Structure 1
Amino acid sequence: MSASDDDVLSLGIDTGGTYTDAVLWSQKRGIVAKAKSLTTRHDLAEGIAGAADAVLQEAQVEPASIKLVSMSTTLATNALVEGQGGRVALVMIGFERPDLARDGLAAALGTDPVVFCPGGHDVHGNEMELALEGLETALPELEKTVTGVAVAAYFAVRNPAHEIAARDLIRSRTRLPVTCSHELTSKLGGPRRALTTLLNARLISMIERLIDATQGFLVRRKIEAPLMVVRGDGALVTAEFARMRPIETILSGPAASLVGARHLTGLDNAVVSDIGGTTTDIAVLDQGRLRLDPEGAMVGGMRTMVEAVAMRTFGLGGDSEVVLRDHVLETRIELGPRRLAPLSMVGVHYKDMMEKVLSRQLTNPTSSRLDGRFVMRTGIPESAAYGLSRTETRLYAEIDESPAALDRLLVSTSQIATLNRLVARGLVHIVGFTPSDAAHVLGKQDNWHAPTARLGAQLMARRRNAMGEMAAPTAEAFSELVLCAVTRRSAEMVFDTAFAADGLDEGVVMHPLVQKALERRASNRTHKGRSNTLNEHRNNPKTDSTFRSDALGGKTGMAQLSMSLDRSVIGLGASAHLHYANLPALIGNACLIAPDADVANALGAVVGQVSMSAQARVSQPEVGIYRLNIAERLEDFETEEEAMAVAEQAARAMAAELAERAGADQARIEVHFDIRDAEISDERTLVEAFITATATGRPRVAS
């Protein structure tokens, strides 16, 4: 079968932490075919090929018929949530060490090196003396120990000259990729701009592996089509554009899912909750529009300057780490934020060895927190291991591509911290019990190796708290509690997002009154709820028993509190039907599992548009001088009218150029003026003006 000229076929791909999804989409016929494949982190091309080849096979389409390929990804989001990424150097020009304490910059930097250099500019773009000798001295050592460099200079958005000088020096002396802060944002706020730049540099190698893997697949299949990537605001850009600005792909997958949810359901007002393997991403649809976060994307507890959909990302997914807090009187189940490789998934390839280890651990008279835990290399290139300490290098050498039992590998408590640092670098995976394993134990998921999951559940269930009580009587009972905890936590996250949208303070959802209201809804689950999914579960007494009030935190008390959402939830993700089946009773409204909800991200990747903005600023540093600042251009004019006219022209030209580079076809341009002035002695004075041009259009397709 082949597509007609007026029925362009597009291939959408979403590379998530666990699965890679693919859809074949036609503007006339909608979704023609869809498929999933496991994300293969050691070689991303395998997972991409598995999903894409499956849709081509199902649709019986020649690869040459595909005229556009677009992908979204949660890899960058997951990396920031899990604290992973390459080791990079931060160059701070005109800043001082106390500046690291602002906006979470020090926490994000961790043990990565930082170089301070004199220099920078003032608010009007006038320069201070630049000295790069310290950077020049540090470069030989940095080239051996980091994978990239981030450069942030004081008021670089007013004049980027010193960032450019540092960038040119680094490129002339090393082969390291360099990111400058002025390339990513025009907003003030030096430390947060430095944080954004640091994270961008940290993600470059990761996004390059993804793009290279996708392009390699396209070449092998002889697909000669443009490759686009979804940004965090839902817009599309070319793959080459995304290579240099990977930070803009954080929340790429969630943004694509929001676009896909709107396309699938047609709902204008809803809460969209997308549960994946590593994270749950939740956003609000208002009057059919995607809302951008005016403060910048918040991921992994870090506030960036990336323009993205107002999305809240939580470390909860099907592959979240299940942790038992059993040193207290009452055992508690905690989920995430770290992703583990599920026992059942790894057991597909190593079932004999893993079953032998897990059975051995079950015969031990006492349980250990290392029971049911393995570690294996992720398979990323050896170059990513640069900069490891001696103890990290020694432990890393003892780990290979097959799972090793932690109770035999680790011989001291201090090695746990060393192992966690290797995990944070993305060099190794921890293998352990997850909600996906719980679903396998209960027969609600069957794509991996259930017996391995059941052994893991038995090990968790027999753990005892300070009262000597077991966590659960059976593997099945423990797995029920885990799935119950996922649904309860999902309800908390939905309300947390709603409270934030209503302008309430962070953490309101954990207030005792809110928790009491949730517990009341949980205890009344059999009496309330509005969805077909919930009705199916009402008829299953075993499922109902998992939502006992006592399992969720105790009796609701005398005060009968209630709360509910004012709109439906759209549930997305492959496991949405499982984890959201009982959600309506907790939120007081319907939860719609959209058709093709399992591939909404991949669909959103191909139905979006290219959108690029450029902003010019006009200020008055002194009477009679009107200064234009846009990107690397700084120019003075004698009249406000001339400065404003040139600013609009420059913003239009830059937006058009960016849209062209980003892959737009015949972009339309809109201009917005934000003029701020003041009355001084009955005379108007310009304070500053921002002229923003936005170019929007559908991506170019292959002829």
Structure 2
Amino acid sequence: MIGIGIDTGGTCTDAVVFDITERCILASAKSQTTHDHLEQGIGNSLDKLPKELLHQASFLALSTTLATNACVENKGGRVFMIFIGVSEKVVRNTYRDYGFESLDDILFVEGNAKEHTEPGWDLFEMEIAERLSAYDSVAIAQMNAEENGGAYEQKAAELVRRHSSMPIVCAYHLFHDRNVIQRGASALLNARLLPVIDGFLKAVRSSMQLRNLNYPVVIMRSDGSLMNETYALNHPVETLLCGPAASVMGGAYLGHYPKSVIIDMGGTTSDIALVKDHLPVRADNGIQIGSWRTFVKGLYVDTFGLGGDSEICYQENNLFLSDRRVMPLCILAAQYPDIFRVLDNLDDNYWKGHSKPMYSFYIRQKDIAGNSRYTEEEQTLVRMLEDGPLSLAETAHALHTDVYKLNLQRLEDEGIILRSGLTPTDMMCIRGDFTLYDAKASRLAVAFLAKSTHHTPEEIPALVYELVEKKLYKNIVRILLEDRFRKTKSYAYTDEINLLAEECFRFSKDGQDDPNHLIQARFQSDAVLVGVGAPIHVFLPEVARLLGTTCFVPQEAGVTNALGAVIGDIRAEVIIHIKANYEMNSEEETKSGYYVYGVREPQIFEAYAEALAYAKKAGETAAREKALEQGAIEISDVIFQEEQQNAMAYGMDLFLGSEVHVEVIGKMDFTS
């Protein structure tokens, strides 16, 4: 059986043809991701694959970093969050810790599921009727939802539907975990990503139809397993780290090392994962990306802003890399040669340099004509960009302001416009490590940057390479320290670790230290660094040398994500909680039964064995249903795991409860 794998990243769209039976890659291709028309980049990669193999394939498997990048770059639809029975004071004190940006987008509704006290629905309906018009979707999370199966969430959703047809996400439908703020953040993020994944899947189907390809489409989840289109459309948050998960699966498959660190560098982000005993390490309590804390189950992947398209910034004489993705100037010049009208005159117009990157441009991504959410000034600018990119100076002039007062952050954050500037990709073009594009535009911008920072044009590419290597090194060190010393994640040691890693990087790079220092610091690892992603081969060998280890960059490094997508299976996990119910009498504290939470309404049993048997049976039933919903036609394996929690109290070892993990592994139907 043959499968097609496609990975749509921030910069490139990769494709592979994989023989499932023989476990080998038959063909591969790479094209530029076209963000304004995703179907073009997908189609370009498909067209580079042999047609006969495309028509022999049984299915198409997808992975993407679109959701990851949307989180890192703070993009996506605007979501109205509804909390039911949640303390407003608690949320005010912690909301930023979970990724919420503003309290203005949150409505607090009273209601207590434990006491069966329903919210005031009439008042609730009046409030939402006044506020919904400014949003794209709604997320709803209820406190103690396990007490009534999320009934208040469902009721609130019904009332919202009376006033709007916008998508609604109920948190308890997605996750049964008890932390309601984290569950709410997960639901909000799911709602925010709805248009991202919907647009992606439509682009895929459009590309297939144009080429007369009609077979099942599956997409990778954050845990390295697969789900069908319907499930993905309703659960886009499950794709949050599907691109990185695909790189982990592909890197582990190609590397075959018992202990390794997998580093995937794309255009926008870099993702680091760990492999122990040949198995990828999984996230313990839901994955986190940037400031977003979620209950999405997945492989342990640490994502940070570093890629071939990271913006090179400067302040006075210092160069640094931003987390934000911009389009490399070498790529922009290939698409719009007219930008040389600005670049060719940089030397004459700014002969002493400038505090602003006057070589940067703005490109239109989406049309907002007639959209009342945007100001007349914003709509005017986007309309002017129809004719092609405008430079920083031209944009300021068009808006009757100067480059110092120009503020287009909202349009960038919402993906309406994209900025182009200098990136590591431009430096690779200049140094000949990336030859797909001409380096003329990059060199002209670097000459401007040199005058603005008092570096020479020859020094700047090497300085940028070192910035990339340092950021990779420091993040690998941080992640390995967090893995060894788990408690460091619970404390604010980020600044201290960053300072120590900075010193160790410099010492390892220079090979010498201040003779007055009484101790030398250097980090070393015996884990193999496995590099995947198009630009990684340029930077990883030096990082491995600094860490005293070796690296492996497979020949298929540029399309590893696409390979990872096509070798997955279907996995569904359900967690059932068993809690001991204690009662106090005049002499001692005694158990009076065991509550089982996690499936519909809670159940109570006198004996623990009965509660455990019920939890396993209910968990397996729910996991099988979930696997079938994801697209499985056959369950090949069921795995049970019980984790008990105990605590010392009153001089006794008290049983608090258990978590029963039930995971089913299934096969997908690729015959339709």
Common fold: TM-score over 0.5? yes
* 2:223 is the counterpart of 1:223: no
Report whether the alignment pairs 1:515 with 2:515: no
Residues 1:264 and 2:254 are matched in the alignment? yes
Retained in 1: the 8 A contact 2:393–2:402? no
CA contact (8 A) 2:98 2:182 kept: no
Question: Given the alignment, which residue of 8, 30, 34 partners 1:15?
Answer: 8
Aligned mate of 1:246, from 236, 246, 253: 236
Gap regions ≥5 residues in structure 1: 1-7, 465-469, 525-548
Instruction: Give the aligned partner of residue 116 of structure 1.
Output: 108
1:86-485 equivalent positions in 2, closer than 5 A = 86-98=77-89, 99-104=91-96, 108-110=100-102, 113-122=105-114, 126-159=115-148, 160-326=150-316, 331-351=317-337, 353-364=338-349, 365-368=351-354, 369-379=356-366, 382=368, 387-389=373-375, 392-393=378-379, 395-400=381-386, 402-410=388-396, 411-412=400-401, 418-464=407-453, 470=454, 472-474=455-457, 476-485=458-467
Which residue of the partner structure matches residue 532 of structure 1? none
Counterpart pick for 2:575 among 615, 626, 644: 615
Matching residue of 2:589: none
Distance 1:79 1:302, change over 3 A: same
2:430–2:442: 8 Å Cα contact kept in structure 1? yes
CA distance in 1, matches of 2:16, 2:173: 33
Structure 1 residue 136: deviation in Å? Answer: 1.9
Contact 1:271 1:568 in 2 (8 A): yes
Report the CA distance between 1:128 and its aligned residue: 2.5
Q: Structure 1 residue 186: deviation in Å?
A: 1.8
- 3-state DSSP class of the match of 1:561? coil
Q: Which of the numbers 532, 538, 547 marks the counterpart of 1:572?
A: 532
Task: Tell me the equivalent position of 1:604.
Answer: 564
d(CA) in 2 for partners of 1:654, 1:384: 46
- Alignment match, 1:648: 616
**Following the alignment from structure 2 to structure 1, what is the Cα–Cα distance between the partners of residues 593 and 370?**
50
SS of the aligned residue for 1:20 comes to: strand
Counterpart code for 1:502: R
Question: Judging changes above 3 Å, is the alpha-carbon distance between structure 1 residues 233 and 360 closer, same or farther for their aligned structure 2 residues?
Answer: same
Q: Is the 8 A contact 2:574 2:663 kept in 1?
A: yes
Cα-to-partner distance string for 1:224-254 (whole Å, 9 max, x where unaligned):
3221111111111112111111111111111
1:496 aligned residue: 478
Say if 1:233 and 1:100 are closer, same or farther in 2 by CA, change over 3 A.
farther
Percent identity at matched positions? 27
Structure 2 portions without partners, runs of 5+: 584-591
Closer, same or farther: CA 696–262 of 1 in aligned 2, 3 Å: same
> Offset at 1:627?
4.0
Kept after mapping to 2: 8 A contact 1:656/1:669: no
SS of aligned partner of 1:108:
coil
Taking the aligned partners of 2:305 and 2:123, their CA distance within structure 1 comes to: 39
Q: How many residues align?
A: 649
Per-residue deviation at 1:215?
Answer: 2.1
Indicate how the Cα distance of structure 1 residues 490 and 185 shifts in structure 2: closer, same or farther if over 3 A, else same: same
* 8 Å Cα contact 2:75-2:415 kept in structure 1: yes
Q: Kindly state the Cα deviation for residue 110 of structure 1 after the two structures are TM-superposed.
A: 3.4
Aligned pair 1:672/2:651, yes or no?
A: no
- C-alpha separation in 2, matches of 1:434 and 1:428: 18
Deviation string for 1:399-438 (max 9, x for gaps)? 4362111112125469867401111111110111111111
Contact 2:368–2:379 (CA<8 Å) still a contact in 1? no
1:304-352 per-residue CA deviation (whole Å, 9 max, x = no partner) reads: 22222111111000000101121xxxx222112000011111111211x
Distance (whole Å) between structure 2 residues aligned to residue 150 and residue 383 of structure 1: 28
> Residues 14-53 of structure 1: matches in 2 within 5 Å?
14-27=7-20, 28-53=22-47
CA shift, 1:393, in A, is 4.5
**Which residue type is aligned with residue 121 of structure 1?**
A
Q: How does 1:486-565 map to 2 (within 5 A)?
A: 486-503=468-485, 505=488, 506-507=493-494, 510-524=497-511, 560-565=520-525
CA gap of 1:621–1:584, structure 2 versus 1, over 3 A, is closer
| Counterpart Cα distance in 2 of 1:579 and 1:557 | 32
Are the counterparts in 2 of residues 522 and 585 from structure 1 also a CA contact under 8 Å? no
Deviations 1:534-569 (A, max 9, x none): xxxxxxxxxxxxxxx9xxxx9797554332112110
CA distance in 2, matches of 1:385, 1:323: 32
1:511: Cα distance to partner? Answer: 4.9
Quote the residue 1:538 is aligned against.
none
